[in-house]
């Protein structure tokens, strides 16, 4: 029975070389960053989309010109799915700084605390990837987001 199940699973999830996996356009690491003058750090929003359908969203801060994060304000993990130009994110885990942390509003990742997410939160967006796969534009009119632009960094 296990052998039959394994064969069925392989057939169900395999694809020919010509087919593109539905989520493969997004695979990789994308960043949108700006300098937060009041904090003296660069504020970075980063999405990491993995081939297995999981994603990580990180809102962190780093010194201007650096690549390593100094600390994080939010980290979300979950699953994602694309259909045409639609992106669905299901958030399963959320991490934030401890409640006593206010200024600066971030801590190292290992000091973050998990917050309950029940039920899993689902958000839907429209997305567009440039022809050269250098930029990702994410829109969500219902959330007041008209076009956040993320640069590919991996």
Q: 101-141, pLDDT tens digit by residue?
A: 988 999 999 999 999 987 888 999 999 999 999 999 999 86
CB 80 within 8 A of CB 55: yes
Give residue 116's domain range.
Answer: 23-126
Torsion of CA 16, 30, 87, 72, to 10 degrees: 130
Residue 12 domain flag: no
Residue 1 domain flag: no
Mean pLDDT for all residues in the chain: 86
Residue 85 domain flag: yes
| 3-class secondary-structure state, position 120 | coil
Residue 78 domain flag: yes
Rounded distance between C-alpha atoms, residue 1 and residue 19, angstroms: 29
Residue 133 domain flag: no
Contacts of 48 (CB under 8 A, 6+ apart): 28, 29, 30, 55, 56, 57, 58
CB 31 within 8 A of CB 45: yes
pTM above 0.85, yes or no: no
Residue 90 domain flag: yes
pLDDT above 90 for 154: no
Looking at the structure of the chain, the number of domains it has is 1
Residue 81 domain flag: yes
Average pLDDT of the segment spanning 55-67? 96
Question: pLDDT tens digits, residue range 9-56?
Answer: 343 444 444 444 557 889 999 999 999 999 999 999 999 999 999 999
Residue 72 domain flag: yes
């Amino acid at each position: 029975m296990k052998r039959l199940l394994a064969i069925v699973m392989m057939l169900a999830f395999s694809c020919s070389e010509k087919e593109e996996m539905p989520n493969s356009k997004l695979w990789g690491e994308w960043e949108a960053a700006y300098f937060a003058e009041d904090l003296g750090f660069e504020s970075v929003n980063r999405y990491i989309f993995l081939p297995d359908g999981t994603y990580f969203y990180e809102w962190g801060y780093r010194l201007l010109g650096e690549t390593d994060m100094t600390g994080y304000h939010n980290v979300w993990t979950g699953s994602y799915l694309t259909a045409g130009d639609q992106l669905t994110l299901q958030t399963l885990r959320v991490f934030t700084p401890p409640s006593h942390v206010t200024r600066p509003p971030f801590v190292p990742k290992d000091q973050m605390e998990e917050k309950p997410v029940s039920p899993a939160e689902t958000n839907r967006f429209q997305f567009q990837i440039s022809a050269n796969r250098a930029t990702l534009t994410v829109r969500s009119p219902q959330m007041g987001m008209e076009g956040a632009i993320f640069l590919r960094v991996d």
